[in-house]
Amino acid sequence: MSPLISASQLQEQLADVLLIDCRHDLANPQAGRLAYAEGHLPGAYFLHLDDDLSGLKTGTNGRHPLPDPQVLADKLASLGLSRNRHVVAYDAQGGMYAARLWWLLRWLGHDQVQVLDGGMAAWQGRVVRDLPVPVAAKFVAELRPELKVDVKEVLENIQSAVFTVVDARSPSRFMGEGETLDPVGGHIPGAINRFFQNNVQEDGRFKPAEVLRVEWLSLLAGVDVSQTVQQCGSGVTACHNLLALEVAGLRGARLYAGSWSEWCADATRPVVARLE
């Protein structure tokens, strides 16, 4: 299954998919829920980045730690997710939040998931305010721990250089300039930068697969994609890079879910930043 679905394709399949609205705003955490109440795609349910697609924060495990897989699986099952159910996630931010759900479902062992290419802006059909009535189903997660790495592995990799870390944050944040979300600026030693917004066109849709493939292969400069680990500020936009790689047909990259917000929570971990 392609990782993306067009608005026209979704229109044809709308009655058969489990549709999830993932809209969010980091600066205003209630914005997504309010936008959903004002109008959403027919039949769509809403899942919140903080409340549903993230776990409990400890102060040291990042701003958006992974949710408990059983809790997430049960939540999705309550909305109608079953083993063979086709899921489509969408947002209004170029896929940056929908990609999180796309990755989480694959982590749970569910591959029949796509992201609406272009999100709300691409949708030409009806927008409704009616709330769907869920019909619970049975879904048993088959967790894929190999899709991610933890902070210990990333720390050890600084010496071993087994994999290449790719940071999805903006170039300025990568270099430690203008950091506003985390208390420390900079990046993990040895990391390279691929701003997630470079994956999409001006209209919010993903670049063509062949363009993404050329850009990513140029960035990796001979490093096999399976030897890369994607990270960002809190494990959200890193999923956008993972989605772009999948669109490009480049598979095997892993996620460092804790990302920079977890990394910089421990002052003993090394940091690289632009020197004044």
Does residue 238 carry a pLDDT above 80? yes
- What does the pLDDT average to over 149-155? 98
pLDDT of residue 178: 86
| pLDDT given at position 276 | 41
Helix 69-78 to helix 98-107 angle, to the nearest 10 degrees?
A: 110
Over residues 179-199, the pLDDT tens digits come to 989 999 999 999 999 999 999
Q: Which domains does the chain have, with CATH numbers?
A: 4-122 (3.40.250.10), 145-265 (3.40.250.10)
232 is a catalytic site residue: yes
Q: Which of 22, 232, 239, 264 is catalytic?
A: 232
Helical (H) or strand (E) element with 17:
strand 17-21
Going by C-alpha positions, the residue among 159, 147, 180 that lies closest to residue 251 is 147
According to the model, what pLDDT value does residue 76 have? 98
pLDDT, tens digit, 9 for 90 and up, residues 248-274:
999 999 999 999 999 999 999 999 997
DSSP 8-state code for residue 229: E
Residue 128 vs residues 38, 40, 48, 131, 171: alpha-carbon distances, Å: 8, 5, 19, 8, 38
Q: Is the pLDDT of residue 154 over 90?
A: yes
Q: Do 243 and 197 form a contact (C-beta atoms < 8 A)?
A: no
Q: What is the pTM of this model?
A: 0.97
Looking at residue 275, its pLDDT comes to: 56
Mean residue pLDDT of the chain comes to 97
